[in-house]
Structure 1
Amino acid sequence: MKNTVALNQKNLVQIKDYIPIPKFDRRGLKCGIVHIGIGGFHRAHQAFYTHKLLELSNSQKWGICGVGLREGDIDMYKVFKRQDNLYTLMVKHPNGKIESQIIGSIIDFKLGCNDSKSVLEQMAHPDTKIVSLTITEGGYNFNPVTSEFNFDNPDIQHELKNPHEPRTVYGYLTTALRKRFNAKLSPFTIMSCDNIEHNGDVARNMLLSFVKRQNQDLANWIESEVSFPNSMVDRITPVTKKADIAYLKKTYEIIDEWPVTCEPFIQWVIEDKFSNGRPEFEKVGAQFVPDVKPYEKMKLRLLNAGHSVLGILGAIQGFQTINECMEDEIFLACLRRFMDTEATPVLDEVIGVDLDSYKDSLEERFSNPNIKDSLSRICSESSAKLPKFLIPTIQESLANDGSIEIATLVIAAWCYYSDKGIDKNGQPIEVCDALSSELHQAAKRTKTDPLAFIKQESIFGDLFKNERFVTLYGSTLQRIYEDQNIKVHIRNLLQ
């Protein structure tokens, strides 16, 4: 190409000689999947699997309609409209190789905050067989300790009073399912693809809690007819950087305003339980199993928790990325010690998986120098992540008289991180958390009440009542406040 070309459907004919483009006719696709939460992960994972399947199969019924519910989705919406819902997927290998291709499985994008009617019509349409979700851990609106639905959420209160004016995912799902129920249509499957243990069960329990407040008959129908398969998803997907956009422009002369970068590794394990048909994702590498739970737990307690271990400790040490942490022998040894002695002993049997090999692969993936996954992304929304990734390991280890030293170090470091917001060099740490104010205030009270931070029961449950944990946490916290060089504390633990 002699001149730069904007990525859109019309310009694919100019792009095809330089970078792979969709091999299927996007014009004939139907929206069989409505996906809520079109972020980087979905585009690197479920949309990629769907793209591969569409290239392999002649089926025309599994196109994706993306949905954004929040005002924060407006920028993505505008880009997708300009690009005819196309984007570039850039797979970054450890050796520096970058494989790029244009993904075409997303064929529409609707914005709920601007046009809820259009979103509901698509969800209620007979062509829609699946509504899938990547709404982050915090999007499920439940108390992480009690697992109860949060009815105090102002948007939930609005939806209960105004059932035809949805704001949250629950309002949209309920209204769309009500339309299908009244029209005597088969329901769609609700498929969570978020990093929550038993994510399908959580989605089911939370939705039913909500619906029962609106319509018991509808709740009964959902309970008997709607499937909520559990799934385990995995692919490290950093935030897109300006350098990624510049790379495509320089290398291929393509202007893509919002490409996605990811690692080569990809995994999807899905419970084979669907209400109204499903894509044959097994043809493109996904694994359908009767029970996903052991795989979910393995991934959450090793990969996701491992990320948090490196993220919080590394942020205070002054590191910026996960691979930077992995280049430090002390941090590498810390991660492996955590995985081997604290997380692995409380895992369930995972049939067909060699755990040592899996942990070796995590070390390799975390070390990928071309991914450069930022610690600010890893540490974001820790108040939603740690109750699912790390704190259950502490609780189960305490019950089994197991090791908790490194996990406790992370919790103590999180208190310092929330209190001071600086690394050991005095540089500010970017703290991004919906509960950042509450975390900061609780951490500040540590001066007068050493247990103030862990007395946040919505996050930690009753850990503050466990004598063994409290003793270790208190001494660890004191040492961190005295010396912020995390490597010193890790080294002492590893001796």
Structure 2
Amino acid sequence: MAAGGGPVTGTVPRLSPTTVDVAHRPDTVRILHLGPGAFHRAHQAVFTEDAGGDWGICGVTQRSPAVVDQLRPQDCLFTVLERSHTATSCRVVGTIRDVLFARSEPERLRTRFTDPEVRIVSLTVTEKGYHPDSGVITQLVDGLAARRATSGAPVTVLSCDNLTGNGNVVRSRVLDACARLPHGDALAAWVADHVRFPSTMVDRIVPATTDADRAEVRAALGVADEAVVVGEPFRQWVIEDDFAAGRPAWEAVGAQLTTDVAPYEAVKLRMLNGTHSLLAYRGALAGYDTIAEAVADPALADEAVKLMEHDVLPTLTVPDDVDITAYRKQVLERFANPALRHRTTQVAMDGSQKLPLRLLGTIRDRLAAGAMPVRAVRAVAAWMVYVAVGADRHGRPLPLDDPLAERLRAAAGAADAPRVIVDGLLSVGEVFGEDLPDHAALRAALVESVAELLARVADVR
């Protein structure tokens, strides 16, 4: 409930411990989180609060002070606006106790890294954040080196991004970075003995927050919250149980601890994320603003179903405790939630980083089995047309928010020549590797699908 006092935004007080009641506020920072964006706040921060105990979080933002500017005036409180098909609820979360901007506060960051009370360093930095030369990897290695030089206390590095074997990926990136340092062998040896890198699988749909969302929280709680995040009711977290220095009791509040995350991860990346990308690119080209609008199109819903049933399912080893038929149905039900207003262009971001994980693994596995994964190919073709044309069927521009944007647009060449588009984009090795460009049947199928999609866009425009 809102109360009086506290900083004021216009005529409405700002969210703070004096203007709302907070159920749980840990005293001690034990988790250092790199990338405290919307997904972390709607997922791991909520799981951690529900688990209870003294597990406060310090969020570290790398690229911009925006999250610091949102959270710090609110004593790091924020609201999760949960939207189902029929209801909306507001929840104020108090697990984050500190936030800092790494670029302008390096000493504070070093102090957090070296603090033996910090038991976990977690990450949500998106797929592109794991590039070997990324600032995140450098930041992580510098922090581990400082920890070794001071307390030497063991720590767990916990990746929560959509990467196959994300724990193994971050371990490999860290050790590779150590090898490039003048005295990196000693640091690598310490990391091997004192640092754990469990893999995880995370799932919750978290669309971008809008002014309307902030206004809804203001009306519901009577306070202004500049750090609102929006999420669906569903949430899932599968975690490899390999921690160096303890962890919250996440399993008590719905997280699943396991010895092998890989099969759960493959189900989610290929079935849910792959279908999400299909709907994002096909939907955006068709002029749909949201994923819910796209899946309401019978033709696109049929494509989504057939992608999961005919292309993805044969490539999976489904865990014994997963009802895959129910899972497939649930995926489409979640996507159909109109209250989320999850934009197709948001899901379409960073396609060069996402396609290898979400669709190309499925394509490789089906080709190896002698089958052509028609719907997965069409999804990749839709991405190619999205890149090449940059507009939907109504002529509205489609943003290409991708770390390889300039290179992709140049590779796509003529926007009305299917073979030029396919040949150019297949040549981008960071996306398609060396094997897929040499597969003649795949290339032909992509050219056919690109031509079909270009004709649809041109016919309406």
TM range (shorter): over 0.9
Correspondence for 1:112: 102
Task: Provide, for residues 5-30 of structure 1, a one-character-per-residue CA deviation record: whole Å limited to 9, x for no partner.
Answer: 31012222xxx4xxxxx323x3x611
Secondary structure in 2 matching 1:390: helix
What is the rounded CA distance, in whole Å, between the counterparts of 1:172 and 1:472 in structure 2?
A: 43
The alpha carbon displacement at 1:419 in A equals 1.3
Contact 1:342 1:397 in 2 (8 A): yes
Q: Which amino acid aligns with 2:346?
A: R
Match of 1:91 among 82, 85, 91: 82
Q: Does residue 130 in structure 1 map to residue 120 in structure 2?
A: yes
CA deviations over 1:357-413 (Å, ceiling 9, x no partner):
001100110000101100111001111111111111111110012341111112222
1:102 is aligned to 2:75: no
Contact 2:60 2:100 survives alignment (8 Å): yes
Residue 8 of structure 2 corresponds to none
Partners of 1:205 and 1:341 in 2: CA distance: 34
Q: In 1, Cα distance between the equivalents of 2:318 and 2:48?
A: 30
| Aligned counterpart, 1:183 | 150
The code of the aligned residue for 2:31 comes to I
How many Å separate the matches in 2 of 1:486 and 1:210? 51
Give the structure 2 partner of residue 251 of structure 1. 220
Counterpart of 2:109 in structure 1: which amino acid? V
Moved more, 218-227 or 237-246: 218-227
Measure how far apart 1:109 and its partner are: 0.3
Match of 1:47 in 2: 45
Query: What do the CA deviations read for 1:237-270 (whole angstroms, capped 9, x no partner)?
Result: 0000000111122233221112011000000000
Q: Report the equivalent of 2:18.
A: 10
State the partner residue of 2:58: 65
Question: Matches of 2:280 and 2:125 in 1, distance apart?
Answer: 21
Aligned-partner Cα distance in 2 for 1:486–1:67: 48
Q: What does residue 178 of structure 2 align with?
A: 211
Contact 2:351–2:402 (CA under 8 A) maintained in structure 1 = yes
Give runs of aligned pairs for residues 396-415 of structure 1, distance below 5 A.
396-415=365-384
Structure 1, 212-221 or 291-300: larger mean CA deviation = 212-221
The whole-number CA distance in structure 2 between the counterparts of 1:171 and 1:474 is 40
What is the identity, as a one-letter code, of the residue corresponding to 1:344?
L
Amino acid at match of 1:87: F
Residue aligned with 2:196, SS? coil
Q: Is 1:29–2:23 an aligned residue pair?
A: no
Q: CA deviation at 1:180?
A: 2.4
Aligned counterpart, 2:7: none
Deviation at 1:445, TM superposition (A): 5.1
In structure 1, C-alpha distance between the alignment counterparts of 2:268 and 2:358, rounded to whole Å: 9
Structure 1 residue 303 corresponds to structure 2 residue 272:
yes
Partner of 2:427: 455
Find the residue that maps to 2:407 and give its secondary structure: helix
Q: How far apart, in 2, do the equivalents of 1:273 and 1:396 lie?
A: 30
How much has 1:69 moved relative to structure 2?
Answer: 1.5
Residue identity in the other structure for 2:423: L
Deviation at 1:483, TM superposition (A): 3.0
Instruction: Report the Cα distance in structure 2 between the residues aligned to 1:315 and 1:332, rounded to whole angstroms.
Output: 14
- Paired with 1:377 and 1:313, the residues of 2 have a C-alpha distance of 13
CA distance in 2, matches of 1:172, 1:428: 36
Residues 97-135 of structure 1: CA deviation (Å, up to 9, x unaligned): 111111000000011010111111101101000000000
Cα distance per residue 1:312-352 (max 9 Å; x no partner): 01111011100001111111111000000001110123120
- Partner amino acid for 2:41? R
Deviates more, 1:350-359 or 1:446-455: 446-455
* Matched position secondary structure for 1:255: coil
- How far 1:469 sits from its partner (Å)? 0.5
The one-letter code matched in structure 1 to 2:427 is K
Residue of structure 2 equivalent to 1:468: 441
Does residue 81 in structure 1 map to residue 50 in structure 2? no
3-state DSSP of counterpart to 1:313: helix
The separation in 1 between residues aligned to 2:336 and 2:449, in whole angstroms, is: 28
In the alignment, which of 481, 485, 493 is matched to residue 454 of structure 2?
481
CA distance in 2, matches of 1:117, 1:426: 49
Give the Cα–Cα distance (whole angstroms) in 2 for the partners of residues 216 and 103 of structure 1. Answer: 41
Name the CA distance, whole Å, in 1 between partners of 2:261 and 2:359: 19
Q: Which amino acid aligns with 2:19?
A: N
Aligned residues: 446
The whole-number CA distance in structure 1 between the counterparts of 2:222 and 2:151 is 50
Amino acid paired to 1:417 = Y
Contact 1:313 1:486 in 2 (8 A): no
Q: Partners of 1:230 and 1:104 in 2: how far apart? A: 26
Residues in 2 aligned to 1:233 and 1:431: alpha-carbon distance in whole angstroms = 25
Structure 1, unaligned stretches of length 5 or more? 17-21, 142-148, 157-167, 488-495
Q: Matches of 1:239 and 1:279 in 2, distance apart?
A: 28
Contact kept, 8 Å, 1:93 with 1:370, in 2: the verdict is yes
Contact 2:209–2:228 under 8 Å retained in 1: yes
Report what 2:205 is aligned to. Answer: 236
The answer to whether the 8 A contact 2:12-2:223 is kept is yes
Secondary structure of 2:340's match?
A: coil
CA distance in 2, matches of 1:414, 1:282: 38
Structure 2 counterpart of 1:39, one-letter code: G
Distance in structure 2 (CA, Å) of the matches to 1:52 and 1:478: 50
Shift of 1:185: 2.3
Amino acid at match of 2:220: T
**Aligned equivalent of 1:358:** 327
Higher deviation after alignment, 247-256 or 365-374:
247-256
The Cα shift of 1:486 comes to 10
